[in-house]
Structure formats: structure tokens, C-alpha cells
Amino acid sequence: MSDVAPAPEPSARPARFSKRSATVSLVLVAGAGAAALALGRLDSSQREEEMLVYGSLGACIAQQVRSAEARIAAAKDAQSAYAATAPRYETEADCQRHHGRGGCVPGATVTEAAAGRTLPVMAAFMMGRTDEQAVPVQPLYPHAPEEEEPGQAASGGGHAGGYCTASGGRVAYVGSGSGVHVAATIARTVATTPRTVSRGGFGGTGRSTMASGGHAGGGG
């Protein structure tokens, strides 16, 4: 009789551990994907705000999307922001290069603080669709069609080249209704001081910070 003990049979445990490890890895990968998706939803640069764009207080009142008090307050806030934060251009030619012919006025006609400069006209103003959004009102300035990037020109109603904000964000307003979807970063980025813009400066900023605002349906 041999004193040598028989060799143990191969254990199936490593295989089970291997399957379990693979399962854990898949769970981790899936969890990472879900986390990335959640972060994407929280990233304000990926979100949009439903906004209202009006060329005048009269147009705003006629739409009746917001309360009369909200509409009147928005028009007043936009006018105040216009005088306080509209970009200042050294020459009319510099202003027209970005805002188009007829898109600029002498600064002194808007505010004494802008005497000797040229300002774009306030072509429209933008406000949130609801009070709950708590989105600041912003004046909007004409954006010359020749400043458009390929495929960005507006079609239908509104200004032919869309609009831009005092901070250089683009609002590509199209159609005859008031509703637009605007990137949250543009809707919530408000200029607090005016900028004196040299040739091409504001135009370059407008292109680099452009985020599309698309038509969100007619009639507001």
C-alpha cells in the first residue's frame, strides 16, 4: 500500500471567483456610466432654458404668456441693463461690423456715461418663461448676418442674424413666436459692467461663446 496521498481534485472555486469578479466589474462600469450621465444632466453647459424673446413691450403684452406685472418689469429691467451694460465701441464702423447697418446709435443718446462711444441698439429683450426659473432679464442686440457661422443664419421671423447678449452669447431666434430654447450658460450669464470693444473684439467673443437658441414653437 502506497504512503503517497492522492492529488486533490481541481477545485471549481477559481472559476466561480472569476465569474463573480466579472460581474462586479460590469456593475462598476455600469455605475460609472450612470454617474457620468448624472453629471451630464447637472452640467449647466448641457442644459437649456425655455425663454421668451420680444422685440418690444407691446409685443410682450400682446402675447400674454406672463403676467402684466412681470412683462412690464422685464421691459424696464432690460432698458436699465441696456444703458448700464451695453458694449461700447470706439467707432460706428466697429459697431456696425458686428451689429450690422442701422444696428448702432451714438452712446450719448442712451446714457451720458457712453458719450463719445457707439452702442448697439437694443433690438429685443429676453426673459424666462416662468417666475420659477429665476432667470435674469437681458437686453438683446442685433447680430449681423455676415457674422454668422455656416448653418447658423436665422430663417423666418426675427432679426435675420439672430441676437447676441452683452456678454457675447448668441441667441439664434427664428420664427414668429416668442419661445426659444437657450443654453443655460447664456441665459444665466449676465454682464454687470460695459465693455469697450476694439475692432473685431466683440464679434470674436460672440462666436467663441455661441450656443444655439432654437425656435420652441409659435405663439410663445
Confidence (pLDDT) at 196: 87
Within 13 Å and on the Cβ side, how many CA atoms surround 147? Answer: 30
What is the model's pLDDT at position 85? 97
* pLDDT at residue 150, as a whole number: 42
User: Taking phi first (over 0 means left), then psi (-120 to 50 degrees means alpha), and beta for anything else, what does residue 181 get?
Assistant: beta
The one-letter code for the residue type at 144 is A
- Please report, in tens digits, the pLDDT of each residue of the chain (220 residues total): 555 555 555 555 544 544 444 433 333 334 443 433 333 344 555 689 999 999 887 888 788 889 989 999 999 999 999 999 999 999 999 999 999 999 999 999 999 999 999 999 999 999 999 999 999 999 999 988 765 444 443 333 345 568 999 998 989 866 556 888 999 999 999 999 999 887 655 544 433 233 333 333 233 3
Residues in the chain, overall count: 220
- Residue 177's pLDDT is 66
> Do the bridges between strand 163-164 and strand 138-142 make them parallel or antiparallel, or are there none, so unpaired?
antiparallel
What's the predicted TM-score (pTM) here? 0.68
The pLDDT of residue 23 is: 37
DSSP structural state of residue 101:
T
**For residue 209, which of 179, 180, 185 has the smallest C-alpha distance?**
185
Task: Give the integer Cα–Cα distance in Å for 89 and 92.
Answer: 7
Residue 219 identity (one-letter amino acid): G
Task: Report the amino acid identity of residue 128.
Answer: G
Secondary structure (DSSP) of 150-176: TT----SSS-TT-EE-TTS-EE---SS
Centre a 10 Å sphere on the Cβ of residue 146 and count the other Cβ atoms it contains: 11
- pLDDT value of position 205: 40
Model pLDDT, residue 118 = 97
